[in-house]
Amino acid sequence: MFRRFGSRVTILERGEQLLEKEDEDIAEEIAAIFKDSGIEVKLKSNCISAVRSGNAITVKYDCEENREDITGSHLLLATGRISNTEDLGLERAGVKLDDKGYIVVNEKLQTSVPHIWAMGDCNGEGAFTHTAYNDFQIVNSHLFEKRKRFLSDRFTCYAAFIDPPLARVGLNGNDIKEQGIKAKVAIMPMNKIARAKEKGETARKLKIFIENNTNKILGATFLGTGADEYIHTIIDQMYAGASYEIIRDAVHIHPTVSELLPTMLGDLKEF
């Protein structure tokens, strides 16, 4: 936003890639998005310090690519989030915390004290608005409904609202390799999709992972125009527990980005 308003923007990232939880190729695509927007991205930046001089802030850092100072008007330091439970008196109630300070919960979101439940960021099971609402649905089902919901029913999904957006559900390539799962992958560049061409937004790509033994969808990572909307096609299919072949053989509306999901699932590669 600030870059589009005309400000000069530099991102200093301590890690080897942006968004460390994403596959390397996706992280590289995101870095390219920023660079194409005129944002300077410097990876492996360590030993960061800042000094104010009048209305200016000078940031010193040690980066493998370059060693220099950056002077600007504003500094945003994003360090992540930690639990905020230490002043709740939970130890007096006998409510257990994990080593990161999150409240330990079971599949029903009950704490170690059965009549106490923990929803939202404090339980460390999501930290999104949509997962917090689902936490309510789980607890509400066990208190007041016949149909019961459980934490294990949930697939992790989220979006990063950059331009174009990143959308993700389930496992990505790194997760699959770490877990030793035999899988196939479908990949579709956005420049092969008619709707993307018509919108003039042909950058980036879509990835869907399929488990070999079950033919079920393990997860998907979409980076492209509208990705935060049509990712729900995959999310719903995963909740249905259906084979990827259901989408592969479906007829989707032209001209949409979603219409290419069946096409890409007809061309799986060994992962």
Annotated active-site positions, please?
254
Rounded to the nearest 10°, the torsion over CA 253, 256, 259, 264 is: 170
Torsion angles phi and psi, residue 16, rounded to 5:
-85, -10
In terms of DSSP bridges, do strands 157-160 and 166-170 run parallel, antiparallel, or are they unpaired?
antiparallel
Locus of tokens 């404090």: 122
Token pair, residue 66, equals 């370059």
Quote the DSSP letter at residue 243: B
Interatomic CA distance for residues 99 and 101, integer angstroms: 6
Please tell me the distance from the alpha carbon of residue 214 to that of residue 188, in angstroms, as a whole number. 22
Which residue type is seen at 256?
Answer: T
Token pair of 192 as six digits: 């092969």
